[in-house]
Structure 1
Amino acid sequence: MNLPAAAPESPEPIFSLVLPAALDGHNGVNRARGGHRQIAADSDVEAVRLWLAEYAGSPHTLRSYRKEAVRLLLWATQALGKPLSSLTREDFVLYEQFLAAPTGDWADPTLPRRGGTRRLFDGPLSERSQHQALGIVSGLLTYLVSAGYLAGNPLALRRRTGTAARRTRRVERYLDHALWDHVLASVEQWPRLTARDHQHYERSRWLIRLLYHTGLRVSEAANAKAADFYPRRGRWWLHVVGKGGTEGEVPVSAALMADLARYRVFHGLAPTPSGNETTAALMSVAGDPCRHLTPSAVYLIVKEVFRRAAGMLEASDSAGAAKLRRASTHWLRHSAATHQADAGTDLRFIQKNMRHASIQTTGIYLHVEDDRRHTETVREQVDTVRPDS
């Protein structure tokens, strides 16, 4: 797959994608005409760039959204000879079919994963991945409609099938209690011979506990301030600013406050944060209390924790080690919700802790109910040999 030339100063294709003038969207048939425009962008790439800029603070979301935008822009211009802003509902039916079976050098395994001749697919997308890709694209189109750039969102006409089943499917990307205990124990075995090693150990130790005990998303943890921890009626809470600027508060245990105190004391700060300090809850890699750990750094540190824990587990539990190698930051959020449900926490409270808009979303963490149903179902299902009659 030969990508259009990109400006050398930007490694991100979507920010510097160059399309033929006839396909850049200036005259797209789905362009909004008249009315009050909310953005000045006058080409598809410029408009997509603005949409992506909304996610600059969430690098992993940005990476995922950029990938889908690049795929759509290149497919539209190269496969259909159309700009993004001319695509119709019929075109998106073809795009759904394409996602299920990308052909030719779109998924050529001999092509590299990076660079101007890279492949954009590893193979056909699963039903779940197709659903996710189309959801991201629909979000892009909705944004462009709201911005006054497009007249309508063709995917708004798409009939949704199977969504109820998908919503009730249990989350599997989480660590069971034994794996989580192993992760905690493995970190305690990290070397602390140098000042740098010791700092990295304390930072990693605090980070995984913060993510697990609060269920924070990566961007929420990276942006959290020490002053966001506050007492009320003798109990500690954490103020959280989540997706779309939505605010919430999460209960904080005495154990987590002790971990925060340990982390702060290591960096020469008072054990308990004051309400007016500007110190980061997760300090930069250099340990600067006035600078936050970046979302990318949060992700990489958690991946390292899981990778090292997997290495220690390989000899005794290869399946568990493989699962740890797949795990990422969001698995800690899933683990938090799952373990709270396992402990019998009221589903309404878990919903508030996770800041889910719908309690149906929270319901996917109820593994204990499934365990009980399985046990009750198979209890009497013992094979017996019946004598010939």
Structure 2
Amino acid sequence: MNHPPGVPGFSGWFDMARTPPQRLPESIDVALAYVADALGHPVYTRWTLPLLKRGCPSLADARRDHPLVFALLLDHDAAVEYWERGRIRVAAGDTAPAPDTVLLRLLKQHRRFRFAPDDPATPTVSTIDTEDTGVPALAGPDTSGPSASPALWLAALAPDSAGRAWLARAGRFANPSPVTNTLGAADDAQAVALFLRDRASRSPHTLRAYLAELRRLIGWCDRHQLGPLSDLTRQNLLTYRTALERTRRSTPAAGTAHDPTHNRPAGLQATTRARAIAVVSSLFRYWLKTGYVIANPAAELSGGAATRDSWTPSRIMPASVLALCDAVVSGAAPDTMSALVWARRRAIWSLYRYAGVRLAELVWSEADGLPRLEADPQDQWTLHVQGKGGKRRSVPLPSVCVPALRAYRLARGLPACPSPFERLALIHSEKRDALGHSGLYDEVKAVLLAAEERVAPGDLTTLTLLRAASTHWLRHGYARALVVDHAVPLPVAQTLLGHASVQTTAAYARTDLTQTRAFVEGSFPSG
């Protein structure tokens, strides 16, 4: 066996997705069955011709359902299907890797499993300065995993012991009743960690912004000897909002940096102030909804509606530029790229292009089993994702998007159409179970880079757009196609895009006056 020395079988590995974490069976056969059932795809299957005949009604069915296995069994006594780097591979029985080698490789690459031979059935729980914070975190070297994130978040908010002691308190508005406090938090430190987990953990950009704004609020409270957070009154927060207008920003405003006539400090920009207040309002709204506090001092504090009213999307790729990118994706694969990687790139581009999803919404979540594809009997495909605030939505995919997805699935060794109960990473990675934020972003940028070679000489405008564009530009283009080009009703477009407010969706109508002008002309025809 190739497992770590001194450990019998695979009982030193834990399935961290179970509560409490589940120890894997010691036997290789039972461990293979357990992992295959947990991940929703085969891990190691050894086929013989009699076994294949028993699993299929006829040889014709066997050939259709398992073409590669059937071809190998014509010349070999056995064929093996095994999982490697995000896809099913097939090899003859005498050349295939051993089952324990396949399983061990998968366990090391998959974030769901952790090797802890000396741990009890439930891994050891430690704390970072437990007497100061009381927030548990799983012990172990992987401090970037989901289980260790709350401790890291709190360390970022309060790096010293005094700051952690300040945060690990409960104010006058904290709810001590275990009956109505459904959050189950006893102090602000735990309540903040749960807020970040539920509202910001899926996107690193959102998490970074939330941490920055909470640090700003905590720093202001510390300077004015206020706190903890659950002790702040409405008057405190109104004073904080005023202080944001007077706070000197790190980069002075244009025209004020070296002008001696401007004695007043340059305040934060309106968008920065709006984001700061929005994060504070979201925190207290979440706390009130879950019962951690008995009142919301930040109610009606945010001016989000006014900000949405003035926002107009501008980062939209023209149709001519999109056509260049589509031509790249529909062309042949580069000579230096494998067929699987090229099929993956085409699938990623098609999903961002025709589903209008955010960058983070295509990142695989093992706990939620999202994103995932679904195909109905009429071969109509739907993409299920989890958006901001943990809200799930279903996006119907146009037929132009399906061929790239079907080709990618076949290249991975999967059925052309997803099964109803499939639980598999939508976009695979060659190094781990699924492609992350940066990998998805790089694949889209690679298409944009390749499109530069198709730009006409001297067309600097198109080159500039291609170099500045990103995945969110495709989302803006998708929204504009719905709202402006095809006059989709705003509530429908809002549902497809996952906007919290219909005002955000309506902002795309301000990007073009052509249709609005046509409506006005039709309403007031000339005599």
Scaled by the length of structure 2, the TM-score of the pair is 0.56
Distance 1:136 1:278, change over 3 A: same
1:336-355 equivalences in 2 (<5 Å): 336-347=478-489, 348-355=491-498
1:207 aligns with 2:348: yes
**Cα RMSD between the aligned structures?**
4.1
Are the equivalent residues in 2 in contact too, given 1:59–1:296 (CA < 8 A)? Answer: no
Q: Give, as a single letter, the amino acid of the residue that structure 2 aligns with 1:370.
A: L
Are the equivalent residues in 2 in contact too, given 1:313–1:320 (CA < 8 A)? Answer: yes
1:338, distance to aligned residue in structure 2 (A): 0.7
1:272, distance to aligned residue in structure 2 (A): 2.9
Q: Name the SS for the 1:20 alignment partner.
A: helix
Q: In 2, distance between residues paired with 1:235 and 1:174?
A: 28
Larger Rg: 2
Q: Which residue of 1 aligns with 2:103?
A: none
Q: Which has the higher strand share?
A: 2
Q: Which residue of 2 aligns with 1:45?
A: 189
Q: Which residue of 1 aligns with 2:396?
A: 251
Relative contact order higher in (CA < 8 Å, ≥ 6 apart): 1
**Partner of residue 14 from structure 1, selected from 140, 153, 162:** 153
Q: In 2, distance between residues paired with 1:99 and 1:190?
A: 54
1:213, distance to aligned residue in structure 2 (A): 0.4
**What's the CA shift string for 1:221-259, capped at 9, x where partnerless?**
224769622125453333444445544432222221111
Q: Which residue of 1 aligns with 2:476?
A: 334
What percentage of residue pairs aligned between the two structures are identical? Answer: 29
Q: Give, as a single letter, the amino acid of the residue that structure 1 aligns with 2:363.
A: A
1:206, distance to aligned residue in structure 2 (A): 1.8
Q: Name the SS for the 1:154 alignment partner.
A: coil
Are the equivalent residues in 2 in contact too, given 1:240–1:249 (CA < 8 A)? Answer: yes
Q: Which has the higher helix share?
A: 1
Gaps of 5+ in 1: 1-5, 110-122, 378-389
1:262 aligns with 2:407: yes
**Partner of residue 281 from structure 1, selected from 419, 426, 434:** 426
Are the equivalent residues in 1 in contact too, given 2:426–2:434 (CA < 8 A)? Answer: yes
**Partner of residue 440 from structure 2, selected from 288, 291, 298:** 298
**What's the CA shift string for 1:346-368, capped at 9, x where partnerless?**
22543342244554433222257
Are the equivalent residues in 1 in contact too, given 2:370–2:386 (CA < 8 A)? Answer: no
Q: Which residue of 2 aligns with 1:87?
A: 232
Q: Name the SS for the 1:228 alignment partner.
A: strand
Q: In 2, distance between residues paired with 1:312 and 1:323?
A: 13
**What's the CA shift string for 1:93-116, capped at 9, x where partnerless?**
33323433433xx7379xxxxxxx
Distance 1:195 1:130, change over 3 A: same
Gaps of 5+ in 2: 1-132, 253-265, 521-527
**What's the CA shift string for 1:307-344, capped at 9, x where partnerless?**
67679869845555555555443332221111233432
Are the equivalent residues in 2 in contact too, given 1:215–1:337 (CA < 8 A)? Answer: yes
Distance 1:353 1:153, change over 3 A: same
Q: Relative to structure 2, which stretch is displaced further, 169-178 or 249-258? A: 169-178
Distance 1:217 1:165, change over 3 A: closer
Distance 1:302 1:44, change over 3 A: farther
Q: Give, as a single letter, the amino acid of the residue that structure 1 aligns with 2:343.
A: E
Are the equivalent residues in 2 in contact too, given 1:173–1:334 (CA < 8 A)? Answer: yes
1:86-235 equivalences in 2 (<5 Å): 86-103=231-248, 107=250, 124-158=267-301, 163-164=305-306, 166-167=308-309, 169-185=311-327, 192-195=334-337, 199-223=340-364, 228-233=373-378, 235=380
Q: In 2, distance between residues paired with 1:251 and 1:43?
A: 43
Q: In 2, distance between residues paired with 1:49 and 1:356?
A: 25
Q: Name the SS for the 1:49 alignment partner.
A: helix
1:78, distance to aligned residue in structure 2 (A): 3.4
Scaled by the length of structure 1, the TM-score of the pair is 0.72
Distance 1:76 1:259, change over 3 A: same
Q: Give, as a single letter, the amino acid of the residue that structure 1 aligns with 2:277.
A: L
Q: Give, as a single letter, the amino acid of the residue that structure 1 aligns with 2:192.
A: V
Q: Which residue of 2 aligns with 1:28?
A: 171
